[in-house]
Structure 1
Amino acid sequence: MNKDKILEVKELKQHFRTSKKSVIKAVDGISFDIYRGETFGLVGESGCGKSTTGRTIIRLYDATSGEVKFNGVDVHSLKSKQEIKSFNRQMQMIFQDPYASLNPRMTVKEIISEGIDIHGLAKNEKEKTDRVHELLETVGLNKEHASRYPHEFSGGQRQRIGIARALAVDPEFIIADEPISALDVSIQAQVVNLMKELQQKRGLTYLFIAHDLSMVKYISDRIAVMFAGRIVELADSEELYSNPLHSYTKSLLSAIPVPDPDYERNRQRVVFDHDSYNPEGATLREIKNGHWVLCTEEEFKKMK
């Protein structure tokens, strides 16, 4: 794998104050790197902080503390309009809900060409139209779709439009925030295959956020498992599946259904006790090369 870091996240925290003056620690001090050209999977249950992580990286939220460096520059220190505009072009997001993320009053052409207009990427109307048509064909739609409105498309087609919109400004890095969770299972594989194909052709880097471990394994080079605002395990995709070490990772993996009736009848679920889990004194430690686990000194010695 290319060891050129495109993204460095260090001790990132995202805390929200509620109306009752309490603090929700959505992201509580996480660190990881993403290398150019790879797909980094971020997995966990709803409410674990994975989407908040993605939104903080792309500056939809200001970080409470910590650092996010993209191509060596701290994104939360960008001040000038020009710097922010350049960053917004290099990093794009594909959203979870293909129904809510497209403006129903805009045609497909208007939706896709918004970024082209903002960044001045077309000299004239004809060049812009040609670019939109090319993007539609790139994501498996056709140019006749450009004049239609979002309500005329299925969920899978809308997500393709969302991908075309993200690609319109030629980004280097795409955050895909649960891009397939709102789609039928039969359509999910099509969208993931499209993303893999685009990655190879365009040299893209992905942060792929999801709660479905089976699909994440299929697309990711490395996977980080997140629980209650912290990363509990991080390893290469194959290593994580074949040798899970944290009890939470084991419970997630044991819940993946297998198309084998005999196996399913006798399957042993690993139950993770959310309420009694206490990560006090635990830090992310490297058990073996590239395999990190949130554990105490004592647990670390046992795992080694």
Structure 2
Amino acid sequence: MSHSNEKLLEIKNLKKHFKVGRKAILKAVDGISFDIYKGETFGLVGESGCGKSTAGRTILRLYDATEGEVNFEGVNVHGKKSKKELKAFNRKMQMIFQDPYASLNPRMTVMEIIAEGIDIHNLASSKEERKKRVYELLETVGLNQEHANRYPHEFSGGQRQRIGVARALAVDPEFIIADEPISALDVSIQAQVVNLMQKLQDERGLTYLFIAHDLSMVKHISDRVGVMYLGNMAEVASSDDIYEEPLHPYTQALLSAIPLPDPQLERSRERIVIEGDVPSPIAPPSGCRFRTRCPHAMDICAKVEPEWQEYRKDHFVACHLYNDKYNEEYKERQLQTQS
């Protein structure tokens, strides 16, 4: 997989907080920063509840950001914009949702669902052209023209997700956020949908943010991977670097849980078990958010939040183990253990 060195998106210190009850604040996304380059697939992974879907929706401005910037082609999506400007943004940035049944209006035909974006953005000059565009989109995603007059309940999960892909493509976007697009599908269908997305990316020069919790599938599709934990970014690197040399203890634990096809390798490798439950985003731990479950936690981890740093070229991590100022304590402990 290849991509250009031109940034399509710059996400800077993005936060999305929700009020819960009278006083509590849920910090779903709490200061994340990363870039997405033109033509690449950026995989965003983490456990359920880590904030990755909220991040995707905030990037697309389905949610207004509490703080921070999302710069798309150099323009802040969350800057105050007129309806006309927002409409132009909406055409360039589209979303494929997790549940293909819940995201399709059951009262609309497939023709109406796919043509909705075409109508909003006035992309067809006549009813005939509109129909022709919908037929072409159906064929592009591997469905037939006769499917256009049916309703969502008449299709399988995989077919419904193909309709969702066709709807996203209808306005010729540059950037698509795929929010767990395969997690609700059978394993045999998952590969078909991922292969379709890769084919469309090659043909149309699309850029993807691929949100998932299945790390093995993310490796297959992504150029670079970002790992989220409790509203923060833990690590960002190329797909190969993340899978071969993960730095953050959380990333290491996630990867150790992926089953290996070779039983001998499976038996010989060390499984890192993360103890305890994910803390509440309403009351996250002080310092490093992962420290309550981290096997390498030090005293400093409770006091100081790790800074986001480029530890190796294009390999970013937020962990005190990689900061010489703080990791003396860890080195000392390792020496004591060995002796």
Report how many residues are paired.
Answer: 302
Q: For 2:66 and 2:74, how far apart are their aligned partners in 1?
A: 20
Asked if structure 2 preserves the Cα contact closer than 8 Å seen for 1:78 and 1:84, the reply is no
**Aligned position for 1:285:** 309
**Aligned position for 1:142:** 144
Asked if structure 2 preserves the Cα contact closer than 8 Å seen for 1:107 and 1:149, the reply is yes
Does the residue aligned with 1:283 lie in a helix, a strand or coil?
Answer: coil
In the TM superposition, what is the alpha-carbon distance from 1:262 to its structure 2 partner? 3.2
**Aligned position for 2:279:** none
CA deviations over 1:160-213 (Å, ceiling 9, x no partner): 000000000000000000000000010000000000000000000000000000
Letter in 2 for 1:257: P
Asked if structure 2 preserves the Cα contact closer than 8 Å seen for 1:9 and 1:68, the reply is yes
**Aligned position for 2:209:** 207
1:112 to 106, 111, 114: 114
Letter in 2 for 1:281: E
In the TM superposition, what is the alpha-carbon distance from 1:300 to its structure 2 partner? 2.4
**Aligned position for 1:66:** 68
Q: TM-score, normalised by structure 2?
A: 0.86
**Aligned position for 2:41:** 39
CA deviations over 1:14-34 (Å, ceiling 9, x no partner): 111101511111111010010
Does the residue aligned with 1:282 lie in a helix, a strand or coil?
Answer: coil
**Aligned position for 1:255:** 257
**Which structure is larger by alpha-carbon Rg, 1 or 2?**
2
In the TM superposition, what is the alpha-carbon distance from 1:272 to its structure 2 partner? 2.8
* Identity across matched positions, percent: 68
Matching of residue 294 in structure 1 with residue 296 in structure 2: no
| Pairing 1:232-243 to 2, within 5 Å after superposition | 232-243=234-245
Asked if structure 2 preserves the Cα contact closer than 8 Å seen for 1:39 and 1:207, the reply is yes
**Aligned position for 1:16:** 18
Does the residue aligned with 2:323 lie in a helix, a strand or coil?
Answer: helix
**Aligned position for 1:153:** 155
Gaps of 5+ in 2: 276-289, 295-300, 331-339
Does the residue aligned with 2:247 lie in a helix, a strand or coil?
Answer: coil
Does the residue aligned with 1:76 lie in a helix, a strand or coil?
Answer: coil
Does the residue aligned with 1:214 lie in a helix, a strand or coil?
Answer: helix
Letter in 2 for 1:292: F
Does the residue aligned with 2:78 lie in a helix, a strand or coil?
Answer: helix
Q: Which moved more, 1:114-123 or 1:17-26?
A: 17-26
Asked if structure 2 preserves the Cα contact closer than 8 Å seen for 1:247 and 1:272, the reply is no
Gaps of 5+ in 1: none
RMSD: 1.5
Q: Which moved more, 1:280-289 or 1:262-271?
A: 262-271
In the TM superposition, what is the alpha-carbon distance from 1:267 to its structure 2 partner? 4.2
